[in-house]
């Protein structure tokens, strides 16, 4: 019997370095953009992907207010939240949410695609969404995400 030993390499804090990516959301479809961002935040775009370790990179999203929704979603897509009080369910339509807080649309979409545990919450903290084309992370030298 051949006794070659192959050892699987797992990513951990000692052998992993985070990168920074910047994405321009102008005229991009919300769902397709959110899947790309979630993939990078999770680290699935790298060959060293490890499910139990946060091996993802940081993502900066610019021009969140210029996102594109297909069909009648601007008028029909509803975002629900609950205040915690009886009768406290609040509904806001995508068009109104985009006027009031355009960052929330992208954050909501990406957060729904991440794991629902402490690892997913740690991954979500590496997402930075901005309304305009300016961001304060130029010192990190972010690369453009293709």
CATH number, domain at 79? 3.90.1180.10
**Average pLDDT per run of 10 along the chain, which is 146 residues long?**
71 87 97 97 92 94 96 97 97 97 97 97 97 96 93
In a domain, 139, yes or no: yes
In a domain, 8, yes or no: no
Angle between helix axes 102-111 and 30-42 (nearest 10 degrees) is 60
List the domain range (segments joined by +) for residue 101.
18-144
| Domains in the chain, number | 1
| Strand locations in 1-146 (E) | 20-24, 58-62, 78-82, 89-93, 127-129, 143-144
Question: H/E element holding 121?
Answer: helix 118-124
In a domain, 12, yes or no: no
Give residue 1's pLDDT. Answer: 58
Give residue 19's pLDDT. Answer: 96
Give residue 10's pLDDT. Answer: 80
């Amino acid at each position: 019997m051949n006794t070659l030993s192959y050892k699987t390499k797992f990513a951990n804090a000692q052998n992993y370095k985070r990168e920074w990516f910047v994405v321009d959301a102008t005229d991009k479809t919300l769902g397709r953009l959110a899947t790309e961002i979630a993939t990078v935040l999770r680290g699935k775009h790298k060959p060293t992907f490890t499910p139990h370790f946060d091996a993802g990179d940081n993502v900066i999203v610019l021009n969140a207010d210029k996102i594109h929704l297909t069909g009648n979603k601007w008028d029909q897509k509803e975002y629900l939240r609950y205040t915690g009080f009886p009768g406290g369910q609040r509904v806001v339509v995508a068009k109104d949410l985009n006027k009031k807080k355009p960052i929330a649309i992208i954050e909501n979409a990406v957060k729904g695609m991440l794991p629902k545990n402490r690892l997913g919450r740690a991954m979500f903290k590496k997402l930075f969404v901005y309304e305009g084309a300016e961001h304060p992370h130029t010192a990190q030298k972010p690369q453009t995400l293709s």
